[in-house]
């Protein structure tokens, strides 16, 4: 009888050990998966920031500063450029405009990058 008890006890120990290893692996896969998702999200934000900087540099040159929104697409990203007069009015050197560029995924969702800057438009 004593030998049978030891054999059964070994099987229970092995099952418990397998359960512990399974929990450890599940936790490890969860951590690795979360890290990969965060790295992908960071790459999306970096790409959106590059598009926002590029479009902000083009505002006033490729797109007129007239208060009308400009929308466009750059790969998997969609951007919107908005401009509005800044301050009281025009001076002899021109008028200041507040330019805002927001970039989001084409599929929708929250903005991945938003940049604002002041631009000086030549006097009319």
| Three-state secondary-structure class, residue 118 | strand
What's the pLDDT tens digit per position in 2-25?
A: 555 555 668 888 889 999 999 999
Distances (CA, A) of 46 to 42, 58, 73, 104, 113: 6, 19, 16, 12, 9
Phi, psi of 60, rounded to the nearest 5 degrees: 90, -20
Domain boundaries, the chain: 2-121
In terms of pTM, does the model score above 0.75?
A: no
Q: Is 66:51 a contact under the CB 8 Å cutoff?
A: no
Question: Considering only CA atoms, which of 84, 85, 81 is closest in space to residue 115?
Answer: 81
- 10-residue averages of pLDDT along the chain (124 residues): 58 88 91 83 91 92 90 94 86 87 92 93 75
């Amino acid at each position: 009888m004593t030998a049978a008890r030891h054999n059964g006890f070994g099987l229970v120990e092995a099952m418990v050990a397998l359960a512990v290893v399974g929990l450890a692996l599940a936790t490890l896969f969860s951590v690795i998966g979360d890290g990969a998702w965060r790295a992908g999200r960071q790459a999306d934000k970096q790409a959106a920031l590059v598009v926002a900087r590029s479009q902000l540099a083009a505002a006033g040159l490729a797109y007129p500063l007239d208060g009308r929104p400009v929308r466009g697409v750059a790969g998997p990203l969609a951007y919107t450029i908005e401009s509005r007069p800044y301050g009281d009015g025009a001076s002899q050197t021109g008028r200041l405009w507040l330019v805002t560029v927001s970039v989001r995924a084409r599929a929708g969702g929250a903005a991945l990058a938003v940049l604002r800057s002041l631009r000086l438009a030549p006097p009319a």
